[in-house]
Amino acid sequence: MNTLYDTHCHIDFQAFDEDREQVLEAAAEAGVERFMVPGVSAEQWPRLQQLVNQFASWRFALGLHPWFIQQHNLNHLQELEQALDTPHERLRAVGEVGLDATCDNSELQRELFIEQLKLAKNYRLPVIIHHRKTLETTHPLVKQYGPEQGVIHAFSGSYEQAMKFVDCGYKLGVGGVITYTRAQKTRQAIAKVPLSALVLETDSPDMPICGHQGERNEPARIAKVLSVLAELRKVDKDSLSEALWKNSCELFNEAQPASNDHVSG
């Protein structure tokens, strides 16, 4: 079985409160051994950390997500800094941060994004970046303020757009988007960029894969994303999953061996 890392999933969300254990079990059966669960708002951070302490396979990030812009204010940046000051072995990134053209208050979004990029850089942590119709404005900010490492979550765009971030040393999160044949531009880009730039993700409970529209997404479905990616890149799944695991560990500065998360508790 392939060992997989879901590098972006919101399994702390309420959508999983009823059956979180079963969802994690199904994921384990599909080979998912690690999960990166991003922060989204100051209000959510304590609960996220509480859950992280329950599940040894979880890694987490802290950040202010543009979808929750109505809840954010500049004081939260100080709270974030304090939280980053508190050592936690599995706090591996700043995120989820970014710009979203479909959300309000673009000025506050921009200010929070820049300040969080700077924090990530200061704390030598990678950054998890959300984008929506904002790839072009995101790139110069990443270049100017961002840390050396990061990931463009749910990348969708052209090969040229992809390479701009790859050239900065950033990785691209590959998820459900590529399971839709109509996503030609993104599929072609992902087929062509260097393998070392790719990581897998589901964005659960969002971004259902093709064939499961309207359903809650789950980390177990990442196996389907792996299959599609192997087809697109014309490589075998075993060597592909090995490379993706390595990329994911590299992204979050983690030791590589899997399978010991479960026993070490």
Residues contributing to the annotated binding site for a divalent metal cation: 8, 10, 96, 130, 153, 203
Kindly state the DSSP code that residue 14 receives in the 8-state scheme. Answer: G
Nearest position to Zn ion, beta carbon: 96
* Residues of the binding site: 8, 10, 96, 130, 153, 203
- Binding part of the chain for Zn ion, among 76-84, 96-104, 155-163, 207-215 by CB under 5 A, reads 96-104
Cβ distance to Zn ion smaller for residue 68 or 123? 68
Q: CB–CB of 76/116 below 8 Å? A: no
Smallest separation, CB 125 to Zn ion (Å):
17
**Residue number, 96 or 115, with CB nearest to Zn ion:** 96
Q: CA 25, CA 234: separation in Å to the nearest integer? A: 30
Give the 3-state secondary structure of residue 40. Answer: coil
The stretch near Zn ion (CB under 5 A) out of 55-63, 88-96, 132-140, 235-243 is 88-96
| Whole-number Å distance between alpha carbons of 3 and 24 | 14
CA atoms within 13 A on the CB side of 68: 17
Q: Which one-letter DSSP state was computed for residue 8?
A: S
In angstroms, what is the minimal distance from the CB of 152 to Zn ion? 12
- Residue 95 backbone phi and psi in degrees, to 5: 160, 160
Q: Which is closer to Zn ion, CB of 33 or CB of 96?
A: 96
Cis peptide before 205 (omega within 30 of 0): yes
Task: Write out the two tokens for 171.
Answer: 């990785």
Residue 80, both tokens: 């974030």
Number of residues that bind Zn ion (CB under 5 A): 1
Six-digit token pair at 252?
A: 């979050």
Residue type for position 213: Q
**Residue span binding Zn ion (CB under 5 A) among the ranges 28-36, 95-103, 134-142, 256-264:** 95-103
The residue among 131 and 187 lying less far from Zn ion, judged by its C-beta, is 131
What the block records as the tokens of 143 is 């270049």
* Least distance CB 65 / Zn ion (angstroms): 7
User: 44-83 mask for Zn ion (x: CB under 5 A)?
Assistant: ----------------------------------------
Nearer of residues 102 and 181 to Zn ion, judged by Cβ: 102
Q: Measure the N-to-C terminal CA separation of the chain; round to a whole number of Å.
A: 22
Nearer to Zn ion, 76 or 131 (CB): 131
Binding site for Zn ion (CB under 5 A): 96
